[in-house]
Amino acid sequence: MRKILIAVCDEDSSYGEKLAEWISLQKGEKLRCVSFCSPERFLEYLNSQSLDIVLLGAGFWEEPQVCEEILRQGQAARHSPEVLWMYLCDGDCQRQIPEYIGVLPAVDKYQPVSRLLRQIFSVYQEWDGGTPGQSGTGKEIVGIYSPGHSIWQTPFALTFAQALARERKLLYVNLHECSGFKGWFHEEYEKDLLDVMYLCLEGNVNVAHCIGSALYSMEGIDYIPPAEDGGCLGEISAEDYLKFVGLLSENSGYDMILLEFGMMLPGFFQLLGMCGKVYIVTEPGEMQAAPLQQFRQIVERQEKAELVQKLVYLSLPVISNEAYSGEGKMQQWLWGTMGDFSRRLAGVSCGAD
């Protein structure tokens, strides 16, 4: 998967270098970041490289040659027609920017970097290849469900998502009522799936922007944090679920949506029907056989031949509960038996690249 190239341009060389270093260390699997403290060096680089995102800080937006380049990029697209220009501000920088440049997106430079990146990618998804606000064209939806509620369903879903994300722009959505994310990954979330659903279902909104307001990334996987109050998931109507998943497919800017189901939500079988493929996963052994048999019977009662054809039944590899212990759960899953299994299923190399 091609890495997104970001240029941090700020006269404070220490700030630019530290930001670029942090992004490269934490997000290097999907981003590459370079920094410039000199407009001349930046313009030389731009003439020879195709950038995806340019963050313009102090000492750059005031430079006439940089302003001229912004205009050329917008009108003639001489260098990189898909470049997204953004202002990296300390306060209200719009008052300081030449009026003839126009209003470009802006982010506050002095905030937690994780939040800064979420804001940047909210705008980048909205930009969608250089065209602000362009909608998607209807993408692939993949579902994962375990009738016996296997504890290994989520490790499989995440490692499978990571493998698929190497070739596709993928969004992972976890619909479990008790996902375990906070305990496993030690992450505190400001917003979660319920917030994103509420924003998306309000009316005429920008779906990509709603997603970007709560978007997180982990090991190359873009994901919306699962619901903190899982009990609310059962109170949302089938109509709202169907509308939400439809919006994700059509307007999120992602090529693939991976839905991991927990309980049978309202509209469950209709949601499965929206998927191009649904992986029904079980663990080896007698205890998982009875829930699987019951699920097959429920599917038969739906009398939907198209749904039956979409179901792919998988037996997960044998894994002991002690196999993945301690910290670094995601890394253990990725480079253990589950990761190998998921990469083979996705048809990608088992190497680290």
pLDDT tens-digit readout, 115-144 = 788 778 777 766 654 333 333 344 799 999
Q: What mean pLDDT comes out for the span 47-57?
A: 85
Helices (H), the chain: 13-27, 39-48, 64-75, 113-127, 153-164, 181-185, 193-200, 207-212, 238-251, 268-274, 289-302, 305-310, 329-334, 337-346
The amino acid occupying position 353 is: D
Q: Are 292 and 280 in contact (CB under 8 A)?
A: yes
Dihedrals phi, psi of 259, to nearest 5 degrees: -105, 120
Q: Is the dihedral of CA 147, 148, 151, 155 positive or negative?
A: negative
Residue 217 exposure: Cα atoms within 13 Å on the Cβ side: 23
**Rounded CA separation 189/47 (Å):** 40
Q: What's the confidence (pLDDT) of residue 63? A: 81
Lowest-pLDDT range of 23-32, 110-119, 268-277: 23-32
Q: What mean pLDDT comes out for the span 298-313?
A: 90
pLDDT tens-digit readout, 67-82 = 777 766 653 444 444 6
Q: What mean pLDDT comes out for the span 293-315?
A: 91
Q: Are 142 and 227 in contact (CB under 8 A)?
A: no
Other C-beta atoms closer than 10 Å to the C-beta of 110 total 10
- Burial (Cβ within 10 Å: 0-12, 13-18, ≥19) of residue 162: buried
Q: What mean pLDDT comes out for the span 195-223?
A: 89
- Identify the CA nearest to 104 among candidates 60, 135, 136: 60
**Rounded CA separation 105/123 (Å):** 8
- Identify the CA nearest to 291 among candidates 177, 178, 176, 145: 145
The amino acid occupying position 121 is: F
Task: Say whether 140 sits in a helix, a strand or coil.
Answer: strand
Q: How many Å from the N-terminal Cα to the C-terminal Cα in the chain?
A: 9
For residue 230, pLDDT over 50 is answered with yes
